[in-house]
Amino acid sequence: MDAGSSGTRAYLYSWPQHSGDPHQLLKISPLLMDGEPMVKKVSPGLSSMGETPDNAFEYIRPLLMFASENIPRDKHKETPLYILATAGMRLLEKEAQEAVLSNLRKGISENFEFYFPDGHLEIISGKQEGIYQWLSINYVLGKFEHKDHASANEELVAVEPASGHSSSPGSELVFRPRTVGALDMGGASVQLAMEITTNLQLEGMPEKDKAQVAEINLGCLEHDTEHTYRVFVTTYLGFGANEAIRRHERTLLLENSILMNEAQGLNTDKRLKDPCRPLGMKDNSTVVLDKENLKVPSNIKDALSESQTVHFYGTGEWETCFSQIKNFTKEEDKFQGCAESCPDPGMRPPPIQFDNSEFYGFSEYWYSMDDVLGLGGQYMFKKFKEASKEFCSTRWHLSWAKYLQGSFPNSDVERLTTQCFKSVWVTAALHQGLLFPPGYGHLTSAPNTVHGQVVHWTLGALLYRTRFFPLRYGIFH
């Protein structure tokens, strides 16, 4: 189960008996129904239980029922259950985190028989999430195949083993398929992961970046250079699409209020103009303010409440929106201070060699490009910008009418209302934050399935956490 910031999803996987060939990894595949992977979701996120942790087990129960109905009963005891939580839970305070987790542990052990030791329930770091996403796309694309098993047209690269693994320099070059980088934007954070293939590339990196390199052995033997990968992985907390919207709305409210010397947008007569909303869209949003840590004049602060309903009016101006939010990636929030579980102060650009790299973009990179605009697949900045611009500047009532007629079958109301902002935000994060060149042509946005296989990070988590299974087949018997 992936307990994300906006919902928890249960994924079911199975694997056949292992061949016993140490060169081969487990063949993990999703359980299918009508050719589609079986997935069930509950909303909102597990982190919404922070205030009422005693309800955490009841919240997740429907997912456990879904799993127990679809996994043969005689297999329950030997089926490992993992519940891994991400950025939403990372933003909760420690005490609240612990209360939610202990309620889950208790409820599950009393009501279900799955194999669920303590280590199977945790809040994973952004770094782990990035690594799991990287593992999962490369696994599905066949990039972890041993050279004897790789497909004929696969480009092989020579990878230098990490220092300390080889007896003499150059003696142990491993030839294997070139891996791809993974870029993932969720609701609360952004992850990027890519392989470092040469020692030279590593040596050229600043110390801060070197500290972000993780060594991952996917093989079932401890010293398996053939399946050991050095992966640079970084995570940016607070730069996911939903957190960016919250920051934008808060900034808009406070900036305008300071400018006018009175709080704006607090009623429907005085709507707050927002260039990042479609033209003519009128809606309201709850802006959460941590008043204790707000850096604004006291007359403004006094006019606002901790949780403020703000009325907006969309002006649908892509360029203005972009100029307002592009600096989010470079600087801390100027109005909202923070004491605990804080977002990162900015996005430090990663050391990517753009001339010989390839990336796949997931989650928000797919939804923002495909759900409304139908531009999933190869990302082209100009084309995407034009389509986004057109969507933002089209009168809202026209887009809404098209939606009601079924023109956007992959969208829901929330997607449609946030599409203008999110399409600008993924562009800003990509080109201002991560410094991808505008002409970069090797980024593919990908849905949750590629080649009919789930490429969700949960697959990578399983792959990594079950890597010793081939050696201890029969662990439960």
Cα dihedral 264, 265, 266, 268 sign:
positive
In this structure, the strands spanning 156-159 and 174-177 are antiparallel
**Residue 389: how many other CB atoms lie within 10 Å:** 19
Return the exposure string of 218-233: e unless at least 16 CB atoms fall within 10 Å of the residue's CB, then b.
bbbeeeebbbbbbbbb
| Amino acid at position 63, single letter | L
Residue-wise DSSP of 3-44? E-SS-EEEE-EE-PPP---TTS----EE-EETTEE-EEEESS
| Amino acid at position 158, single letter | A
- Burial status of residue 476 (CB atoms within 10 A of its CB: 0-12, 13-18, 19 or more): exposed
Whether 190 contacts 184, CB under 8 Å: yes
Distance in angstroms (rounded) separating the CA atoms of residues 50 and 56: 9
Positions marked active-site: 129
Contacts of 219 (CB under 8 A, 6+ apart): 22, 25, 226, 227, 228, 467
Which H/E stretch holds residue 242? helix 241-260
